[in-house]
Amino acid sequence: MSHPVDFQQQPQYGGHPGTPPKTGNGFGVAALVLGIIAIVIAFIPFIGIGSFLLGALAVILGIVGLRKKGLPKGTSIAGLILGALSLIIAGIMAAITATFVAAVDESLQSMAESSIVAEATTTAAPVATPISEASESTSSAEDPTSEAADPEIPTEHQSALAQAQTYSDLMFLSKAGLWDQLTSEYGGQFTEEAADYAVENVEADWQQNALEQGRSYQETMSMSPAAVYDQLVSEYGGKFTAEEAQYAVDNL
């Protein structure tokens, strides 16, 4: 006797395996973050040298992220592009900084040569005339008193003041930025005492320097007034006071 065939569908246990969730591209994210930091640092004079290292790391991590299969490529591509751009910008800023430093050195050398010539001319200018021995003894007795009343300024202080004047006239630095440049191992390498004397005696209009530097930011980087203000007062930027930066923004 034949048994009836059961056409009822048997219950199925379990389902089809789902698509595994996509994981983030850690290399791409790291490349993107490093690329952004490198772009920002590249615009800062002297400190921008560090963007060469960060930009190179961003490029390397971006390439590694692109070679990883099954991972999103967007962050890797963005990090690679930003890293490459930071290297280009850092190179341009390094060239501009080198040009400024070369111009400052030439100006300082010419000023030093001019001062030497002026001193030699001043020394040779007076012509000895016959005078009485009494007058000579009187003038020689007065010389020590005048020298004691007007002590000579140290040579390093004079050099720091001359270099500070050049930096202020050419680079429109703030008072704090000028002091840092004079004492920096990559700048003047003067002592703190010489730098203090220079920034206190330099002929500079700090508000006007802030305005000139703000115009440079606006023209070369197309910054908004708020961004110009932040850059002027930043400890990694102009280091101007809030009043000086506000004056610059108000007069752009």
- Residue 52 in domain: yes
How confident is the model over 39-84, as pLDDT tens digits? 888 888 777 777 788 888 888 988 888 888 777 888 888 888 988 8
- Residue 209 in domain: no
pLDDT the model gives residue 150: 39
- Residue 93 in domain: yes
pLDDT the model gives residue 147: 41
Question: Cα dihedral angle (50, 56, 57, 62), rounded to 10 degrees?
Answer: 140
How confident is the model over 8-23, as pLDDT tens digits? 555 555 555 555 555 5
Q: Which of 92-106, 146-160, 230-244 has the highest mean pLDDT?
A: 230-244
- Residue 245 in domain: no
pLDDT at 232 over 70: yes
pLDDT the model gives residue 149: 35
pLDDT at 224 over 80: yes
Give the integer Cα–Cα distance in Å for 184 and 187. Answer: 5
Of the listed ranges 83-92, 181-190, 242-251, the one predicted with least confidence: 83-92
Instruction: Please state, rounded to an integer, the average pLDDT across all residues of the chain.
Output: 78
- Residue 126 in domain: no
What total of structural domains would you count in the chain?
Answer: 1
- Residue 32 in domain: yes
pLDDT the model gives residue 237: 84
pLDDT at 137 over 60: no
Question: What's the domain range around 53?
Answer: 26-101
- Residue 68 in domain: yes
Average pLDDT for residues 174-181, to the nearest whole number?
A: 92
- Residue 38 in domain: yes
